[in-house]
């Protein structure tokens, strides 16, 4: 395909002409080159032979036989060799009307092409192996041998990536690796470099490849095309990039570049026009030479302006947005930038790089550490591996299955390849079996089933006895290309005890090949379901044949779980909106309330509740009464509010309600932390406000809009819809952050603000809209009312044992989001025999690296793990999610926290590590009293600081060189 908007026809002709002239001027080949450009019934043979090997005018013959030698497809003369001025003999011949067996992933048939002088029986000039198959594009679909095919990929693979050198080209290892990926239904991969061994194995086993130059073109930059003549770039592509791929039928897509400049991506804006013109010229010339594959000209950010495929890279659900943004792919216009209907692929997605031990690989100064906080929060280190691996697999499931079933709305969605780490072990292995697949690999096996049953369920939490309405989707990418009919769905609920509590069945609609169909399946949850997680499992059968199985988990609770079973200690005075929505919600969970009519006669025995989105101008005019009530010792619960209406001036601590939306089709939109969020992190899980609710129950809540993916927008499954931030970090001594979310846990979902003798509990959790629907949401509504009705509360947590910095469990919610300024310090764990190759360095701001920056995907054998914290603030985040200093000139960082300790403790003991050779300074301040400490180079010291207390809360701050690492703090 030619997109004429990029180069005029005269410019294209000039490029091709210059390419031909340059080809004549190339140096002589060291050995003959034979290329076979084939489709289903023909092959174009190109031969280049140095005249030192054979004289000018020699007639050549060719023979095409099955790889096993038992089938002859063609034999005969192919023409006379013509020698050019460069001393290279060339011949081109097209053979048509052939009847070979075709290469495909299911039947990878290969043939041998032998070229020799005509009449000769012994001397073979060239011998190659190739396959007959066609790769094309029609109506926005990728066609293999004339039939649409969906690409089910995996992007991060050897060679390289830290596997031992001895295995890089080891056929047994390569075969085992490729066979395994095929066993979990992967049908296409990408390699980090050209390897004929890997290409050969993929040819033989039927594993497709998208391959080429996965970087910037030679001599170019991400935002600048090469300065050399276009003909030189064409020759480089033909000789070094595409030439080694031509004879491999497994290579179905050529990639010319990766993530180059584009005017629509805010960090790739410079040079977009020049880059696109260059790629247009390369495509025109290369496609003229080899049109037997499809081209991605600019992987990730080319938007299909050049080439046949519109490819995107989107890491929704890793360092920006959530999995729900994959629903934006239902609209082709998210990708297409021309009038040409193109297949849409996503050759990078998912991310969420887990390390050797399963925890997120916390490579410093990257997207990783703060993304980890987004998705696994401050879960104890003992739980981090399971949490990370589970989320990585779950995120892959959502990306793959939403992408595939969205073809019911957008049939141009043609394939995706998660870019993530699928195996635990890379270095130190002696065979493929040592790599040990992660749970995501097992998820591939399910989500990549050629015939896929996929559940769309927006009720992750439900009451026993309720009716849920999941949607069963069937996606037909059957290996044999057949339509599906006479399908039955059998479905059943299985409890954690293994007992089957319900079963049903229904007929499903017919599903033509390469399409998707869906059906709503109403299910009345049995009243006797035990409280806990149950699995809704479905099996599609055709006659007696089981053709697909999948499941989805649901947390089921009894009615009593989400109801108030004891009287509320305070009189609940409710200020509600005109609909009475919050009053109805409170009544639903068993809490009575009285309308708030006046702020002048409030008693500290009252609990004032500001209803969801009920704040209005009347309340703004009377905010002094609320302020005075709190000062006297009153308690106020503020449910989620509209940022446009809510007046924050009366609060004991100023907050800012966020307005940015989490999900949308954009990249790096700004506005973080977003107003809505999922995977909420309970900072103080032992607080009574979380009674009965575990961390896992804060991931998603049930949709209250009856949404399904046939409708625009997104389901309302975000627990947080009106999150907020604290603009002044110094005010955090008056704040108990109980739950937070988003990147670096900057967004606040639930916090108690202290002023005078009272406090205000502010929440962005959307509990009112879900009343009676979601038991977890209901339980949190009950808990918040009860929490604010009983007991004395404190802003600072009680710490009565040693803090091991970087161990979330021992920190006990002391450090909330970025507000403390205490950044997690991470260090690499390097296998002993890689230590020389990857030396440890510490940069000027204290980041510790093995063999340079980055490495979460290029060096998966090296895992970065927490070891202490560093006083690093103030800082914020870049658009890409990395930590960004606010004052880059200063070498000093600050950190702070507030804590309560037993009255018997009289001193604070802090262990500090200095990882560099020079002595560094640290200032430690406890309740306003400071001391200066010198930490000698390459040493660990323990500093004892007297506790000075005017009240029960101890305020501690550290200020010093950012390279100093705080290891432990204990109060003695």
Contact 399, 135 (CB under 8 A): no
Residue 44 has pLDDT above 70, yes or no: yes
The Cα–Cα gap between 36 and 42 comes to 10
Check whether the bond before 318 is cis (ω within 30° of 0): no
- Higher-pLDDT residue of 311, 817: 311
Residue 950 has pLDDT above 80, yes or no: no
- Higher-pLDDT residue of 24, 637: 637
Distances (CA, A) of 700 to 166, 220, 385, 542, 766: 46, 45, 20, 34, 11
Rounded to an integer, the average pLDDT of 236-262 is 96
pLDDT band at 26 (very low <50, low <70, confident <90, very high): very low
Residue 30 has pLDDT above 70, yes or no: no
Distances (CA, A) of 266 to 260, 270, 305, 547, 880: 12, 9, 18, 45, 10
- Higher-pLDDT residue of 672, 322: 322
Per-residue confidence (pLDDT) for residue 70, from 0 to 100? 81
Distances (CA, A) of 772 to 229, 464, 488, 558, 561: 69, 12, 33, 12, 11
SS3 497: coil
Give the burial string for 446-485 (b: 16+ CB within 10 Å, else e). Answer: bbbbbbbbbbbbbbbbbbbebebebbbbbbbbbeebeebe
pLDDT band at 1 (very low <50, low <70, confident <90, very high): very low
Longest Cα–Cα distance of the chain, Å, equals 112
The string of pLDDT tens digits covering residues 189-210 is 999 899 999 999 999 999 999 9
Q: How many CB atoms lie within 10 A of CB 909?
A: 14
Per-residue confidence (pLDDT) for residue 31, from 0 to 100? 80
Residue 754 has pLDDT above 50, yes or no: yes
Per-residue confidence (pLDDT) for residue 854, from 0 to 100? 78
Contact 61, 77 (CB under 8 A): yes
The string of pLDDT tens digits covering residues 352-405 is 999 999 999 999 999 999 999 999 999 999 999 999 999 999 999 999 999 999
Indicate the average pLDDT of the chain.
94
The Cα–Cα gap between 184 and 956 comes to 52
pLDDT band at 301 (very low <50, low <70, confident <90, very high): very high
Q: Report the DSSP pairing between strands 545-557 and 461-463.
A: parallel
SS3 174: helix
- CA angle 549/552/557 to nearest 5° reads 140
Outline where 90-185 has alpha helix (H): 165-168, 171-183
**What percent of the chain shows pLDDT beyond 90?**
88
* Residues in a beta bridge with 573: 594, 608
Residue 10 has pLDDT above 60, yes or no: no
Nearest to 460 by CA among 511, 394, 518, 513: 394
Exposure of 172 by Cβ count < 10 A (0-12 exposed, 13-18 middle, 19+ buried)?
exposed
The string of pLDDT tens digits covering residues 680-730 is 999 999 999 999 999 999 999 999 999 999 999 999 999 999 999 999 999
Tokens 């090997």 -> residue: 53
SS3 742: coil
Per-residue confidence (pLDDT) for residue 330, from 0 to 100? 97
Per-residue confidence (pLDDT) for residue 54, from 0 to 100? 80
Per-residue confidence (pLDDT) for residue 880, from 0 to 100? 74
Per-residue confidence (pLDDT) for residue 601, from 0 to 100? 85
Residue 14 has pLDDT above 70, yes or no: no
The string of pLDDT tens digits covering residues 861-898 is 999 999 999 999 999 988 777 899 999 889 999 999 99
pLDDT band at 53 (very low <50, low <70, confident <90, very high): confident
Check whether the bond before 159 is cis (ω within 30° of 0): yes
Residue 223 has pLDDT above 60, yes or no: yes
Nearest to 152 by CA among 438, 481, 399: 399
Distances (CA, A) of 586 to 317, 591, 609, 770, 788: 33, 5, 10, 11, 15
Residue 937 has pLDDT above 50, yes or no: yes
The string of pLDDT tens digits covering residues 588-611 is 999 999 999 998 889 999 999 999
The Cα–Cα gap between 10 and 31 comes to 35
Tokens 């410019």 -> residue: 11
Per-residue confidence (pLDDT) for residue 13, from 0 to 100? 39
Q: How many CB atoms lie within 10 A of CB 204?
A: 17
The string of pLDDT tens digits covering residues 150-170 is 999 999 999 999 999 999 999
Per-residue confidence (pLDDT) for residue 18, from 0 to 100? 43
Contact 881, 353 (CB under 8 A): no
Please tell me the number of Cα atoms within 13 Å of 952 on its side-chain side: 12
Lowest mean pLDDT among 77-91, 135-149, 550-564, 941-955: 941-955
Per-residue confidence (pLDDT) for residue 4, from 0 to 100? 32
Give the burial string for 588-620 (b: 16+ CB within 10 Å, else e). Answer: bbbbebeebeebeebeeebbbbbbbbbbeeebe
Residue 27 has pLDDT above 50, yes or no: no
The pTM (predicted TM-score) of the whole model is 0.95
The Cα–Cα gap between 347 and 189 comes to 10
SS3 308: coil
Residue 638 has pLDDT above 80, yes or no: yes
Rounded to an integer, the average pLDDT of 55-78 is 92
Residue 810 has pLDDT above 70, yes or no: yes
* Residues in a beta bridge with 578: none
Per-residue confidence (pLDDT) for residue 8, from 0 to 100? 36
Residue 7 has pLDDT above 50, yes or no: no
The Cα–Cα gap between 105 and 92 comes to 29
The string of pLDDT tens digits covering residues 100-133 is 999 999 999 999 999 999 987 778 889 999 999 9
Per-residue confidence (pLDDT) for residue 939, from 0 to 100? 98
The Cα–Cα gap between 958 and 597 comes to 48
The string of pLDDT tens digits covering residues 539-563 is 999 999 999 999 999 999 999 999 9
């Amino acid at each position: 395909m030619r997109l004429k908007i990029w180069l005029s026809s005269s410019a294209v002709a000039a490029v091709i002409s210059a390419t031909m002239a340059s080809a004549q001027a190339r140096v002589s080949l060291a050995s003959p080159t034979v290329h076979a450009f084939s489709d289903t019934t023909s092959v174009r043979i190109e031969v280049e032979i140095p005249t030192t090997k054979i004289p000018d005018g020699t007639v050549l013959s060719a023979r095409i036989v099955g790889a096993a030698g038992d089938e002859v497809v063609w034999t005969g003369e192919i023409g006379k060799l013509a020698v050019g001025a460069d001393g290279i003999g060339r011949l081109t011949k097209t053979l048509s009307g052939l009847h070979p067996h075709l290469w495909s992933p299911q039947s990878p048939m290969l043939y041998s092409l032998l070229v020799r002088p005509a009449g000769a029986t012994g001397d073979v000039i060239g011998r190659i192996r190739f396959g007959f198959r066609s790769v094309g594009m029609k109506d926005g679909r990728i066609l293999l041998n004339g039939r649409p095919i969906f690409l089910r990929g995996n992007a991060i693979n050897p060679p390289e990536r830290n596997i031992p050198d001895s295995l890089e080209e080891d056929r047994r290892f390569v075969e085992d690796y490729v066979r395994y990926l095929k066993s979990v239904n992967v049908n296409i991969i990408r390699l980090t470099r050209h390897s004929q061994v890997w290409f050969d194995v993929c040819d033989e086993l039927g594993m497709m490849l998208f391959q080429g130059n996965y970087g910037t073109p030679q001599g170019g930059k991400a935002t600048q095309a090469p300065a050399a003549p276009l003909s030189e770039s064409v020759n480089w592509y033909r000789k070094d990039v595409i030439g080694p791929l031509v004879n491999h039928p497994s290579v179905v897509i050529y990639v010319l570049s990766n993530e180059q400049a584009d005017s629509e991506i805010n960090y790739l804006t410079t040079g977009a026009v020049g880059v696109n013109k260059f790629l247009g010229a390369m495509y025109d010339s290369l496609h003229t030479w080899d049109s037997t594959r499809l081209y991605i000209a600019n992987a990730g950010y080319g938007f299909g302006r050049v080439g046949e495929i519109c490819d995107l890279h989107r890491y929704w659900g890793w360092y920006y947005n959530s999995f729900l943004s994959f629903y934006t792919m239902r609209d082709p216009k998210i990708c297409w930038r021309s009038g040409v209907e193109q297949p849409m692929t996503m050759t990078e997605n998912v991310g969420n790089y887990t390390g050797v031990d399963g925890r997120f690989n916390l490579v410093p100064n990257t997207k990783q550490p703060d993304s980890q906080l987004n998705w696994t929060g401050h879960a104890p280190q003992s739980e981090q591996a399971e949490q990370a691996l589970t989320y990585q697999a779950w995120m892959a499931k959502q990306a793959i299955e939403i992408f595939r079933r969205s073809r019911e709305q957008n049939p141009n969605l043609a394939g995706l390849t998660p870019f993530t780490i699928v195996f635990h072990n890379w270095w130190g292995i002696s065979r493929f079996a040592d790599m040990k697949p992660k749970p995501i690999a097992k998820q591939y096996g399910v989500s990549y089933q050629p015939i896929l049953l996929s559940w769309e369920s927006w009720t992750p939490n439900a009451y026993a006895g309720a009716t849920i309405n999941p949607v069963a989707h069937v996606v037909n990418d059957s290996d044999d290309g057949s339509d599906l009919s006479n399908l039955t769905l059998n479905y059943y609920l299985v409890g954690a005890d293994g007992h089957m509590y319900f079963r049903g069945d229904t007929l499903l609609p017919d599903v033509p090949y390469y399409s998707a169909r869906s059906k709503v399946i109403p299910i009345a949850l049995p009243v006797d379901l035990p409280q806990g997680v149950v699995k809704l499992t479905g099996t599609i059968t055709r006659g007696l044949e089981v053709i697909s199985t999948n499941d989805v988990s649901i947390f089921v609770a009894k009615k009593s779980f989400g109801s108030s079973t004891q009287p509320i200690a305070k009189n609940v005075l409710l200020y509600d909106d005109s609909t009475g929505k919050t009053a109805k919600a409170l009544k639903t969970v068993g809490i009575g309330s009285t309308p708030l009519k006046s702020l002048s006669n409030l008693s500290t025995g009252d609990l004032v509740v500001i209803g969801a989105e009920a704040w209005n101008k009347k309340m703004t005019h009377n905010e002094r009464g609320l302020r005075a009530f709190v000062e006297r010792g009153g308690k106020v619960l503020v449910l989620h509010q509209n940022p446009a209406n809510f007046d924050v001036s009366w609060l004991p601590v100023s907050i800012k309600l966020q307005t940015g939306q989490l999900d949308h089709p954009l990249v790096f939109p700004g506005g973080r932390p977003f107003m809505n969020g999922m995977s909420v992190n309970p900072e103080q899980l032992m607080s009574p406000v979380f009674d009965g609710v575990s961390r896992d129950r804060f991931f998603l809540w049930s949709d209250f809009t009856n949404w399904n993916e046939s409708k625009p927008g997104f389901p309302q499954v975000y627990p947080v819809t009106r999150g907020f931030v604290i603009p002044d970090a110094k005010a955090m001594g008056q704040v108990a952050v109980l739950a937070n979310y988003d990147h670096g846990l900057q967004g606040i979902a639930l916090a108690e603000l202290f002023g005078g003798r009272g406090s205000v509990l502010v929440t962005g959790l959307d509990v009112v809209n879900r009343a009676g629907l979601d038991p977890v949401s209901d339980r949190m509504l009950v808990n918040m009312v009860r929490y604010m009705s009983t007991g004395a509360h404190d802003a600072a947590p009680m710490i009565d044992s040693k803090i091991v910095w970087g161990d979330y469990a021992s920190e006990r919610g002391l450090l909330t989001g970025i507000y403390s300024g205490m950044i997690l310090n991470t260090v690499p764990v390097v296998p002993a025999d890689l230590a020389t190759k990857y030396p440890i360095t510490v940069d000027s701001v204290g980041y510790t690296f093995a063999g340079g920056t980055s490495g979460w995907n290029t060096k998966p054998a090296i895992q970065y793990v927490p070891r202490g914290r560093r006083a690093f603030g103030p800082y914020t985040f870049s658009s890409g999610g990395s930590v960004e200093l606010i004052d880059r000139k200063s070498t000093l960082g600050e950190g702070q926290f507030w804590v309560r300790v037993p009255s018997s403790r009289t001193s604070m003991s802090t262990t500090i590590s200095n990882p560099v050779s020079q002595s560094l300074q640290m200032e430690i301040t406890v309740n306003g009293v400071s001391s200066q400490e010198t930490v000698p180079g390459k040493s660990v010291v323990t500093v004892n600081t007297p506790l000075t207390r005017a009240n029960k809360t101890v305020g501690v701050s550290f200020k010093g060189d950012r390279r100093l690492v705080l290891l432990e703090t204990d109060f003695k």
